[in-house]
């Protein structure tokens, strides 16, 4: 497996030999609105595979959150639940080490959302910078679904239900954790006791992977992704079409590395950082063509994806097994989240029956 | 028991001898934010006692809805749940005939709310005239809690969870049922099948009971109520303080009946409508003093409340029994609502596990 510039597992949990000294509760997840892709792999999936060894990790297949902007097209969510589970298992997330669960199968998440909704104002939701920019991006205006505006409350329910201490996020998601911790403090104040835990972000050092054309991030909704079951041919085509340095017209000219998507991907995915550094130097002084760098990247990505694709194909052919994994994880998550719900209901005085 | 001007039970269900021909599903309920009072009695409780004989009636103790504007003061809700149950039983609502259940004890209601929230826009919620005037009344502005703005969605969950056909409401609540039926149509369209029922209002002919001072409606939050366990003395004092006709200065003068709260109450509560008509005539032509009319009303209300108060005092002394009633009804409601949730989840394609 290739290295990544940052090893978040060791950065966040002190390990001594093979035994963890501190084990932390981690919550993460994905909206189930499409197959996962290389951007997810490098941004989070790879990290989760590492984190699962020394932590209690819960991964939520967020079908309910996926519905918040797909209410009129729910099959986009329903059809992708098992795709996402297959992606998890294919990259090496181990259901014996990580709880993989389905949001819609956990009633306590909806119930906690209802309680928390009484403690968060509409104005506060509208101030959330992440939601604000998403509303603009989706051209929602005031026709924004109520469920979408309030999804930060639902996320707070997800995080607190599992008493997560660490939540892996990008910079852009920090306002979500602020919102969560505001709710935690309000509930703890009502309960007059620390029944919920504040969470900390586990920030990724890797910035979002650009799309092959370099114009935007790799995104399911923009349709410019390299999926985790991409064929060798699809990978090769995607790399061939990649944006490099438009002023690098002949091989012997010096080329620019910044903004050159091929090098961004080599930085992210190539296992040998020193070799990539040498390539950059060569490219910058001239004499290294885009055909050559693209071939190196193609080989690297094909090598990375081939075994994932093979596992994924076997998994997706066995839907019964995927459902079984999801069912088992969801049952466990249901029990765990119910304990938190009971505490929150008691804080509100609603533990009568 | 006194008559009411309208007998809604016979107006809505055709009865033949002692056997009902049509039995309808009815949902009704109360926010658990205080004891119920004479306004509730005449506006809905009395009707529910009649309706329970020939219909399937579910009454929801709406603690979650009570929290939507009491998030920071939840004991106002928690402390009143059993008060409301005691009020129900004291007036004659029979748990063997009516399902009395607690909203917070029914997870499917929260889950349905989450699904429906994806189909209703913030703009649509803000246009709801009932919510609009409540927001103004409470001076919420943009600091309105998210749960309060979206409580019509939660009400739609309540109504549809039990597949209610009839919902007893006042005129001012009609926009709530419109909102519910909009959601029903959207879900049925997603499901491509009539999985949810549209509901009809069961409009009360009785306008809201004014407060004794005639200045506003009788309201828990305004503190101007005659509760269902009011003592003879409290009743007598409340009637003594009632607004009559300020120009009716001596007994022999003609008096005005319109806006005279004593006559409004006599119309609502006195069992003999003909006698009240005679009193009105006498009052209008002069010779009937306010002392006399007030005494008649006092006697009438004391007679009405005495047995209710006695039953209520016995009930509230046996909290274990009240909890048992609520528990049993809630379990039944949980099963029933789960069936609806399963159908709605299937409509969204989320019946995988």
Report CA-CA distances (Å) from A49 to A32, A89, A352, B280.
19, 10, 42, 83
Q: Which of residues 218-277 of B touch A (CB under 8 A)?
A: none
Question: Which of chain A's residues have a Cβ under 8 Å away from the Cβ of B345?
Answer: 104
d(CA A29, CA A59): 5
Angle in degrees, CA A223, A225, A226, rounded to 5: 145
B51 touches chain A (CB under 8 A): no
Which has the closest alpha carbon to B197: B155, B156, B152, B153? B156
Helices (H) and strands (E) in chain B, counts: 17, 7
C-beta atoms surrounding A193 within 10 Å: 12
Contacts of B42 (CB under 8 A, 6+ apart): B4, B206, B209, B268, B269
Q: What is the pLDDT of residue A82?
A: 98
pLDDT tens, position by position, A129-188: 999 988 888 888 778 999 999 999 999 999 999 999 999 998 889 999 999 999 999 999
User: What does the pLDDT read at residue A221?
Assistant: 60
Contact A306/B at CB under 8 A: no
- Write down the number of H helices and E strands in chain A: 17, 7
Q: Do A82 and B107 touch (CB under 8 A)?
A: no
For the segment A7-34, what is each residue's pLDDT rounded down to a tens digit?
333 333 433 344 445 799 999 999 999 9
Q: What percent of chain A has pLDDT over 70?
A: 92
Chain B contacts in chain A segment 155-194 (CB below 8 A) = 190
Q: Which CATH superfamily is domain B229-315 in?
A: Tyrosyl-Transfer RNA Synthetase (1.10.240.10)
Chain A residue closest in CA terms to B154 = A114
| Neighbouring C-alpha atoms within 13 Å toward the C-beta of B289 | 7
User: Which tens digits make up the pLDDT trace of A194-209?
Assistant: 999 999 999 876 677 8
End-to-end CA distance of chain B: 53
Per DSSP, what are the bridge partners of residue B60? B29, B101
Q: Do A142 and B126 touch (CB under 8 A)?
A: yes
Q: What is the ipTM of this complex?
A: 0.91
Determine whether the interchain pair A146/B149 forms a contact, defined as Cβ–Cβ distance below 8 Å.
yes
Residues of B in contact with A157 (CB under 8 A): none
Q: What residues in A contact B154, CB-CB < 8 Å?
A: 114
Provide the shortest C-alpha distance from residue A118 to chain B (in Å).
5
Residues forming beta bridges with residue A227, ordered by sequence position? A37
What pLDDT does residue B147 have?
97
Residues 127-146 of A with CB under 8 A from B: 141-146
- Distance (Å, whole) CA A126 – CA A144: 11
Q: Give chain B positions within 8 Å (CB) of A327.
A: 353
Query: What pLDDT does residue B11 have?
Result: 36
Q: What is the dihedral of CA B87, B89, B94, B99, to 10 degrees?
A: 60
Contact A349 B147 (CB under 8 A): no
Q: pTM here?
A: 0.92
> For the structural domain made of A8-209+319-347, what CATH number should be given?
3.40.50.620
A278-283 long-range CB contacts below 8 Å, 24 or more apart? A283/A254, A283/A255, A283/A257
pLDDT tens, N- to C-terminus, chain B (353 residues): 333 333 333 333 433 344 445 799 999 999 999 999 999 999 999 999 999 999 999 999 999 999 999 999 999 999 999 999 999 999 999 999 999 999 999 999 999 999 999 999 999 999 999 999 888 888 887 789 999 999 999 999 999 999 999 999 988 899 999 999 999 999 999 999 999 999 999 987 667 788 888 877 776 666 678 999 999 999 999 999 999 999 999 999 999 999 999 999 999 999 999 999 999 999 999 999 999 999 999 999 999 999 999 999 999 999 999 999 999 999 999 999 999 999 999 999 999 98
Question: Chain A residue with minimal CA distance to B124?
Answer: A143
A349 interaction partners in chain B (CB closer than 8 Å): 74-75, 77-79
Structure tokens at B234: 């409290």
pLDDT, tens digit, 9 for 90 and up, residues A181-239: 999 999 999 999 999 999 999 987 667 788 888 877 776 666 678 999 999 999 999 99
Give the number of other Cβ atoms within 10 Å of residue B134's Cβ: 17
Angle between helices A319-347 and A81-91 (to 10 degrees): 100
**B 317-346 residues with CB < 8 A to A:** 323, 326-327, 330, 345
Q: In this structure, what DSSP letter does residue A154 have?
A: H
Per-residue pLDDT tens digits for A41-51: 999 999 999 99
**Pairs across A and B, CB distance < 8 A:** 167
The residue among A170 and A330 whose pLDDT is bigger is: A330
Can you tell me the mean pLDDT for A297-325? Answer: 98
In CATH, A232-315 is 1.10.3720.10: no
* DSSP codes of every residue in A226-266: -BTT--HHHHHHHHHT----TT--STTS----TT-HHHHHH
Which has the higher per-residue pLDDT, A253 or A13?
Answer: A253
Picking from B63, B107, B352, the nearest residue to A107 by CB comes out as B107
Query: What pLDDT score was predicted for residue A94?
Result: 98
pLDDT at B266: 97
Domain assignments of chain B as residue spans, ordered by start: 8-209+319-347, 229-315
Q: How would DSSP label each residue in A171-187? A: GGGHHHHHHHHHHHHHH
Nearest-neighbour CA in chain B from A167: distance (Å): 23
- Contact yes or no for A114 and B79 at CB 8 A: no
Contact A145 B117 (CB under 8 A): yes
pLDDT at residue number B217? 73
pLDDT score for A219: 66
B156 interaction partners in chain A (CB closer than 8 Å): none
Quick one: pLDDT at residue A17? Answer: 41
pLDDT of res. B222: 60
Distance CA B136, CA B152 (A): 16
A78 closest CB neighbour out of B81, B326, B349: B349
């Amino acid at each position: 497996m290739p290295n990544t510039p940052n090893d978040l597992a060791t950065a966040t949990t002190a390990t001594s030999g093979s035994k963890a000294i501190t084990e932390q509760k981690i919550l993460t997840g994905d909206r189930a609105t499409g197959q996962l892709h290389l951007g997810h792999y490098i941004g989070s999936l790879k990290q989760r595979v590492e984190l699962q060894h020394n932590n209690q990790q819960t991964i939520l297949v967020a079908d309910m959150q996926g519905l918040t902007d797909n209410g009129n097209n729910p099959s986009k969510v329903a059809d992708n639940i098992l795709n996402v589970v297959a992606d998890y298992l294919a990259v090496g997330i181990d259901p014996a080490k990580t709880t993989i669960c389905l949001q819609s199968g956990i009633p306590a998440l909806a119930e906690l959302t209802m309680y928390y909704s009484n403690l968060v104002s509409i104005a506060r939701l509208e101030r959330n910078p992440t939601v604000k920019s998403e509303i603009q991006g989706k051209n929602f205006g005031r026709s924004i679904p109520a469920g979408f505006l309030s999804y930060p409350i639902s996320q707070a329910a997800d995080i607190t239900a599992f008493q997560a201490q660490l939540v892996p996020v990008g910079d852009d998601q920090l306002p979500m954790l602020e919102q969560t911790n505001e709710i935690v403090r309000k509930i703890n104040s009502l309960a007059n006791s620390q029944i919920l835990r504040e969470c900390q972000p586990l920030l990724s050092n890797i910035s979002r992977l650009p799309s092959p054309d370099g114009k935007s991030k790799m995104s399911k909704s923009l349709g410019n992704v390299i999926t985790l079951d991409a064929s060798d041919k699809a990978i090769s085509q995607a790399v061939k079409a990649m944006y490099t340095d438009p002023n690098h017209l002949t091989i012997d000219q010096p080329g620019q590395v910044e903004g050159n998507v091929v090098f961004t991907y080599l930085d992210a995915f190539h296992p040998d950082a020193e070799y990539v550094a040498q390539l950059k130097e060569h490219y910058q002084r001239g004499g290294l063509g885009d055909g050559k760098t693209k071939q190196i990247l193609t080989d690297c990505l094909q090598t990375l994806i081939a075994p994932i694709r093979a596992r994924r194909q076997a998994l997706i052919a066995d839907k019964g097994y995927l459902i079984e994994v999801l069912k088992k994880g969801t049952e466990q998550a249901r029990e765990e989240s119910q304990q938190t719900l009971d505490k929150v209901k008691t804080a509100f005085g609603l533990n009568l029956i």
